Amino acid sequence: MSLSTELGKELTRLAGTMGPTQIAVSDAAGLTLSIDFTSIDSMSCSVSQIELFVPSLQSAAFDALKKWADSLSRRITYLLEQVAPLEYDPSAGQVLIRSNPPDQLADGTQYYEIVLSSQSGGNFRLRRYRSTKGQPGRDPVELTVTHEVLLKLADDLAATVPAATP
C-alpha cells in the first residue's frame, strides 16, 4: 500500500487525539514516513516534525540529493510559502531547503525548513521555525495542515524520491 493510504488510515483512527502522538507508516518500496503530531481532528492536524526514511539514498551520490531537492521544490507548491534549495553541502551529504521568501511577521519571520540527507540511512525532515527580531536563534513552531494536504505531501515525497546512484 502507498504511504498516503496508510497515513489516511492512521488519521482516521487518531481523529480527536490531543497531545503528542507519533506514527510511522511504510510502503512496499521500503519508505517509512514518521510524523510527530501535537493534535489531530477530523479535518486537520498540527505537526512538530515530518521525516521520511529512504533506504535507497543511504550513501547515495550527492547528485541524487540535488535532484530530489529540485524536484521537491517544484512540486510542493501548496504550503504557506514556496520552498527552494538554499544550501548544498556535498561533504556532509546534505541539502537545506527553506521557505523562499519566509513569512514576514511584525516581530520576525516564520519559515519551513527541509533537510535532505544521504547520511543516517537517507532522510527527509520537515519542520517549521520562527525567529524573533532582536533575539538570537530560532524556535520550532507547529505546522498545521488539513488531512488532504498531508496526504498530498506523502504522495509527493514518495513520487519524487530519485533513483540512487552510488
Q: What is the pLDDT of residues 84-102, one digit of tens each?
A: 999 999 999 999 999 999 9
Residue 23 three-state SS: strand
Dig out the grid coordinates for 37 from the structure: 503530531
**Residue 70 clears pLDDT 80, i.e. is over it:** yes
DSSP H or E run through 128: strand 123-132
The whole-number average pLDDT for the span 111-130 is 91
3-class DSSP state for residue 101?
coil
C-alpha atoms less than 13 angstroms from C-alpha of 87 in its C-beta half-sphere: 11
Stretch 51-72: mean pLDDT, rounded?
91
**Banded pLDDT at 42 (limits 50, 70, 90):** very high
- The pLDDT, as a whole number, for residue 4 is 96
This model's pTM is above 0.85: yes
pLDDT at 165 exceeding the cut of 60 = no
What per-residue confidence (pLDDT) applies to 164?
58
Contacts of 56 (CB under 8 A, 6+ apart): 29, 30, 122, 161, 163, 164
Is the pLDDT score of 166 beyond 70? Answer: no
**Percent of the residues in the chain that have a pLDDT greater than 90, as a whole number:** 86
Compute the average pLDDT of residues 97-114.
95
- Mean pLDDT of the 139-154 span: 97
